[in-house]
Structure 1
Amino acid sequence: MRYGHWGRPVLVFPSEAGRAEDFAAHGMVGAVQDLIDAGRVSFFCVDSADGWTWSANDKPTEERARGHAAYLRWLDEAVIPWITEQLGGRLPVITLGVSMGAYHAVHYSLTRAHLAPLGIGLSGNYDPSSWHAWGETGDATYFANPMHYVPGMSGDHLEWVRSAASVLLVVGQGAFEWEPTKAYPSTLAFAQVLQDKGIRHELDVWGHDSAHDWPWWQRQIAHHLPRFC
């Protein structure tokens, strides 16, 4: 689903197992309606595939990671070309997500910075190994986990990521940011990983009243997005 007639394209991932329409239904479009009306931003919202990937807890982690890789191929082969066609040419994409969608947004930007050089994660947990992990794991799980593959970056690839990618991590300290989501500790831990690797990032920690919920994500997007569009 698309919202906006022109402007910087933002690829929006929903919260866990969510749908494309959730972004507008939960007030996120309305929170930045002024940017949309001014032609500064267009949101391109997609469904998740969490129901048969990361949220399919009956499947071993490696199988879920392989399913996630198929979802990424769909983004590469269908969604990014759709955005390009809609805008009449390719523009650098911002990725944006809340909760589990924050993981998707940041992971996509770090692995495809030539397409999406900025990833914005709101209240994310960036370690899939903490999501009901079980079974033997391999390359699919490793390369789907920023908490694992970013520390392993080196050489020319790391230099490219440093030059091409930027990440904004936002999290609160209020209800559900600690438990059960572990968004607060995961966000701080991931920010340290990015810091250790010299990858451009910002960490914005909100107060103890800032909950893992849509009203706070509305405020956070309204606060941050205008400077990128």
Structure 2
Amino acid sequence: MERAYHKWFSKELERDMELLVWGHSGAPVIFFPTRSARFYDYEDWKIIEALRDKIESGQLQIFCVDSVDDESFYSKDAPSARIKRHLQYEKYILNEVIPLIRNLNPDQRLIAAGCSLGGYHAVNIAFKYPFIFTKVVGMSARYDLTISLPHFNNLFDGYFNEDIYFNMPNCYIPNIHDEQLLNQLRSLSIIIVIGKEDAFLENNKQLSLSLHEKGINHDFYEWDEEAHRPRYWRRMVQLYL
């Protein structure tokens, strides 16, 4: 498989950012890492290897981006600063990563994908910008980071503002009434995958119900067990990407 490493100083984040590109052509995929993980972890976990056939045959080109989760959602800064840093990361994806993709790959499709917190990143950015993305795959994710669950805290310590609201899909999807935006979401290919024993199961069911009530078609898959480990994700990417 073709493998390329990129690093540059991000103006949006005011720090160096790194990413890996796998493949030479096909539908480009922005692959968001798990909680506080790095751009090389999907390679280390053999998840990229699981996609070898699709990458080598030119069906997919994978862009494994880095995260700033330790500077945003998992930082010790004030909650308002956490969401602000997340929005800077979003601008990095929109204004720096996507232009790189468009420069390297003429395919006009664009897929967002991720596992665990990476699934949140993928679904949130695709739902906010459905006119940019053509497909999104969220695996083992939660879509409201303001709720507390066993072993998973409210990432804003009970603080809530407009920026947080507009970045929690389970909050904003039920309240979308703009028909143009709804039609854009309806044109998006949406795949949501969660384990039956995953702590985020009900959170995923809630998102699926909200999408259904808005007439937004999507595929919702429940896997046996928790299904929140690389060995499951290796199989998921083969099926859904």
Q: If each structure's helix is expressed as a fraction of its own residues, which one has the higher value?
A: 1
Q: Does 1:77 align with 2:71?
A: no
1:28 Cα deviation after fit: 0.9
Q: Does 1:119 align with 2:142?
A: no
Q: Does 1:24 align with 2:37?
A: no
Q: Does 1:170 align with 2:193?
A: yes
Q: Aligned with 2:196: secondary structure?
A: coil
Q: Aligned with 1:67: secondary structure?
A: helix
Q: Does 1:64 align with 2:64?
A: no
Amino acid at match of 2:235: R
Q: Structure 1, residues 28-72: CA drift from partner, whole Å, max 9, x if none?
A: 11112111111111100100110111112x334332111111111
Q: Which residues of 2 match residues 79-158 of structure 1 at below 5 A?
A: 79-87=97-105, 89=106, 91-130=108-147, 131-134=154-157, 136-158=159-181
Q: If each structure's strand is expressed as a fraction of its own residues, which one has the higher value?
A: 2
1:223 corresponding residue in structure 2: 239
1:7 corresponding residue in structure 2: 26
Q: Quick one: which of 164, 169, 190 aligns to 2:207?
A: 190
Unaligned runs of 5+ in 2: 1-19, 148-153
Q: Contact 2:27–2:107 at 8 Å: present in 1 too?
A: no
Q: Does 1:33 align with 2:49?
A: no
The 10-residue stretch of structure 1 (61-70 or 19-28) with the greater mean CA deviation from structure 2: 61-70
Q: What is the TM-score with the length of structure 2 in the denominator?
A: 0.84
Q: Contact 2:28–2:107 at 8 Å: present in 1 too?
A: no
State how far apart, in whole Å, the 1-side matches of 2:28 and 2:97 are. 12
Identity of aligned pairs, percent?
27
Unaligned runs of 5+ in 1: none
Q: Contact 2:29–2:60 at 8 Å: present in 1 too?
A: yes
State how far apart, in whole Å, the 1-side matches of 2:77 and 2:146 are. 13
Instruction: Give the length in aligned residue pairs.
Output: 216
State how far apart, in whole Å, the 2-side matches of 1:166 and 1:61 are. 32
Task: Give RMSD over aligned pairs.
Answer: 1.5
State how far apart, in whole Å, the 2-side matches of 1:132 and 1:77 are. 26
Amino acid at match of 1:95: A
1:161 corresponding residue in structure 2: 184
Higher relative contact order (CA 8 A, sep 6+): 1
